[in-house]
Amino acid sequence: MPDSTQKLRLGALVALVVGSMVGGGIFSLPQNMAASAGVGAVLIGWAITAVGMLTLAFVFQTLANRKPELDSGVYAYAKAGFGDYMGFSSAWGYWISAWLGNVSYFVLLFSTLGYFFPVFGEGNTVPAVIGASLVLWGVHFLVLRGIKEAAFINFVTTIAKMVPLVLFIVIAAIAFKFEVFTADIWGLGNPDLGSVMNQVRNMMLVTVWVFIGIEGASVYSARAEKRSDVGKATVIGFASVLLLLMLVNVLSLGIMNQAELAGLKNPSMAYVLEHVVGRWGAVFIAIGLVVSLAGALLSWTLLCAEILFAAARDHTMPAFLRKENANQVPANALWLTNGLIQLFLVITLFSSSTYLSLLYLATSMILVPYLWSAAYAVLLTIRGESYEHARGQRNKDLLIGSIALLYAIWLLYAGGIQYLLLSALLYAPGALLFAKAKRELGQPIFTGVEKIIFTAVLIGAAIAAYGLYDGTLSL
């Protein structure tokens, strides 16, 4: 356990939650949502997301309070409820989602700088990858200096990134035109969008993406100064970010129509503000995005290392990932994470991977950890575990957990078979690390049920590999 000098207070935990959620996603939200849905579907989608994500926030709050001995959130809950392999898979999927998200952030960062310096293009040119690599290793060595120091810098950047967002909301509210907002509510003018249900389904991965990080405080529960602050930080962070996201998205739809927004480059918020006030608006938002991404990259670098370290600490990951440096930073976990980010940055030079495609893949990887967390909350209430003297609260938590579980299942459906198969392809290699950890303990690798689950993952991975080979699937 870290000593008191590395403990995080409520403000730092809230900043980790907000800083993780408010990264690049909100700055690209107008285009990302308009590309999939019209105004009516957007409003329906936000209603579903608000309820679903609120119940997930309550799930993380409840589990933090009722299972204080389980540190590191999504990983610990899956392991406690469904065994070692499910716990490992949850940690593995969360970790891959986190560092893939960082790759997408680097692409978006240099795509934004491409507004000023065309040499960076869409964020996947040679100069962009070189610049991203320099930033990556700068963040790496900053985090190696200490968790608390990095969390403080994240706190400062989280406050700084709020300034352009609030200004955008104020200007967009003034410029909002009701006739633009209501011109084609159901997207009938664009047959490519499909039915309203398809529109809602297609936008769901984007709404999940902008909320990833809601579990950030629970991942850091072991480092919290007060255990009760974990749940508070989760709910405070969720409510704050939900308000920001909905205002940015809805107000944009009253400034430019769906087709215009869908055709924007990212960060689309910059071009929306430029449409209202001229070039200075785009420049202001671009600068705000750079600050925002700096904070988000820092938050997710911290989370990446922490989730591997936590899993290694109780022997679900191999022992080498438990190593900490003199500043109590999980150094080996950090090197492994950033090494893979560097590899994928190079891969963007040779593939069609854009911000949006990386976003979808990163989001699909985190759906399984969310599913297991919600399922564990339901399992606790069914068993009555930790509810011996709280029957009324037990029924309430069962309802909330069930809604969160249904929402997680809906997200798997909404993501579609393509990203489910690609996720299986990324989940399968993790078994090598799981096997190594089991051998270190002298234990069998899989139980009977786990063998069946792993076989299903292998089949999905094989289908995905063939799909990539013959071109039916693509990254």
Write down the pLDDT at residue 1: 42
Instruction: Provide the pLDDT for residue 147.
Output: 60
Residue 307: burial class (beta carbons within 10 Å; 0-12, 13-18, 19+): buried
Q: What is the pLDDT of residue 462?
A: 95
pLDDT tops 50 at residue 124: yes
Lowest mean pLDDT among 1-15, 73-87, 234-248, 300-314: 1-15
User: For residue 356, what pLDDT band results from cuts at 50, 70 and 90?
Assistant: low
Average pLDDT, the chain: 85
For residue 148, how many other CB atoms are within 10 A of its CB?
17
- Residue 224 phi, psi dihedral angles, 5° rounding: -75, 140
Its sign, for the CA torsion 159, 161, 166, 171, is: positive
Q: What is the reported pLDDT for 5?
A: 47
Tens digit of each residue's pLDDT (9 = 90 or more) over 173-182: 999 999 999 9
Query: Quick one: pLDDT band at residue 112, thresholds 50, 70, 90?
Result: confident
- pLDDT band with cut points at 50, 70 and 90 for residue 353: low
User: Cα separation of 13 and 155, whole Å?
Assistant: 9
3-state secondary structure of 444: coil
Query: Could you read off the pLDDT of 363-377 as tens digits, one per residue?
Result: 888 888 889 999 999
Residue 307 scores a pLDDT above 70: yes
CA gap 90, 29 in Å, rounded: 27
So what's the pLDDT on residue 4? 47
pLDDT tens for 21-70 read: 776 778 889 998 998 899 999 999 999 988 998 898 888 878 877 887 88
Interval 182-231: pLDDT, tens:
988 988 888 888 888 889 988 887 887 777 767 665 666 666 787 778 77
Is the pLDDT score of 235 beyond 60? Answer: yes
Backbone angles phi, psi at 110, to 5 degrees: -85, -20
The residue among 92 and 389 whose pLDDT is bigger is 92
pLDDT tens track for 402-412: 999 999 998 88
Q: What is the model's pLDDT at position 355?
A: 62
Helix (H, G, I), strand (E, B) or coil at 344: helix
Write the DSSP assignment of 103-119 as a string of letters. HHHHHHHHHHHTTT-GG
CB of 280 within 8 A of CB of 11?
A: no
Q: Domains of the chain by range and CATH?
A: 4-418 (1.20.1740.10)
Give the type of residue at 3: D
Q: Bridge-partner residues for 224, per DSSP?
A: 8
Can you give the pLDDT at residue 427? Answer: 92
Question: How does residue 320 score in pLDDT terms, banded at 50, 70 and 90?
Answer: very high
Q: Which of 81-85, 157-161, 327-331 holds the top average pLDDT?
A: 81-85
